[in-house]
Structure 1
Amino acid sequence: MTEPAPPRHPQLAVSAAIFRDGEIMLVRRARSPAKGVYTLPGGRVEFGESLHDAVAREVMEETGLTIAIIGLAGWREVLPASHGGKGGGGHYLILPFAARWRAGEPTLNDELDDVQWRVPDALDGLTLTDGLPDIIAAAKALL
């Protein structure tokens, strides 16, 4: 079976910089194109879904956590490799939100294979998505 062709337009996605007790939660992707890379939990916004609903749903689906959304912490664009980007075939506009942990302990789905709570200034040794330290700093400033 052949894989479907990637969409011919950008996909809208959200993520959450979740803080608890002075630490931020990072998750490691278990699948390509970002396999082995630590990032923020998140995913695509569904048609008709608000951004806040999307980020809360994606965090719940990926980690089992309930969060309180604080505000928008910036944006990131991932371009397909054919247009100079490092990503696979997709073009994504990602809107990261600052959030506070409310309830639950991380329970990962099949998209993730590790979770770590880290002090935002102690991310050395981890392979991170491009621009993640800047997004974390912007999110922390909103708390």
Structure 2
Amino acid sequence: MACVGAVVLDDAGRLLLVRRRNAPGRGLWSVPGGRVEPGESLVAAVAREVREETGLQVRVGAEVGRVQIPGDGVVYDVVDFGCTLADPRAEPVPGDDADAAVFAGPTDLERLTCTPRLLETLRGWGALPA
């Protein structure tokens, strides 16, 4: 199943995360993202998902990586894109299938319960600040 994710860093280098309200990953922190709708481009899908889940507008940049996530009877084929905030002063507000949204710094990332292999994958792609 075609899906997208957004790797959004603010000016302080903090990563935008949402806590998932629904499966897969209910209750876990992850980057904003979700399914690509029929006829929708990957770029349009990632911008829409960020807006729906956090209320933030982003400029979608280059692909940073791809990952396959097994689900209940389906495999999610996720393409993650680097994104920048249209308004660097904007703060996330949870919506859609996110019940919380934050910008997380290094200390926060270590204490939050993220989806399996999220931080390891992002670090491996060079998508997180050192």
Interval containing the TM-score (normalised by the shorter chain): 0.7 to 0.9
Q: Deviations over 1:43-90 (max 9, x none)?
A: 1111221111111111111111111122111111112xxxxxxx3233
C-alpha distance in structure 1 between counterparts of 2:110 and 2:42, whole Å: 31
Q: Does 1:44 align with 2:28?
A: no
The equivalent residue for 2:73 is 89
Residue 57 of structure 2 corresponds to residue 70 of structure 1: no
CA distance in 2, matches of 1:131, 1:75: 13
The question of whether the paired residues in 1 share the 8 Å contact of 2:18 and 2:53 is answered with no
Q: Larger C-alpha radius of gyration, 1 or 2? A: 1
Query: How many residues align structurally?
Result: 125
Give yes or no for the alignment of 1:126 onto 2:112: yes
Letter in 2 for 1:74: G
CA contact (8 A) 1:120 1:136 kept: no
In structure 1, the residue corresponding to 2:86 is in which secondary structure?
strand
1:19 aligns with 2:9: yes
1:100 and 2:84 equivalent? yes
Q: Which amino acid aligns with 1:97?
A: F
For residue 140 of structure 1, what is the aligned residue in structure 2? 127
Q: Does the CA contact (< 8 Å) of 1:98 and 1:139 recur in 2?
A: no
**CA separation in 2, counterparts of 1:36 and 1:123?**
15
**Aligned-pair identity (%):** 37
- CA–CA distance in structure 2, aligned partners of residues 55 and 113 of structure 1: 18
1:30-53 C-alpha deviation (Å, 9 max, x unpaired): 123311110011111112211111
Structure 1 runs not aligned, ≥5 long: 1-10, 80-86
CA RMSD, 1 decimal: 2.0
CA distance in 2, matches of 1:44, 1:31: 13
Q: What TM-score comes out, normalization by structure 2 length?
A: 0.84
Does the Cα contact within 8 Å between 1:73 and 1:135 map onto a contact in 2? no
Residues 93 and 100 in structure 2, CA contact (< 8 A), matched pair in contact too:
no
Tell me if the contact between 2:21 and 2:98 (Cα under 8 Å) persists in the aligned partners.
yes
1:34 counterpart residue number:
25
Structure 2 segments unaligned to the other structure (5+ residues): none
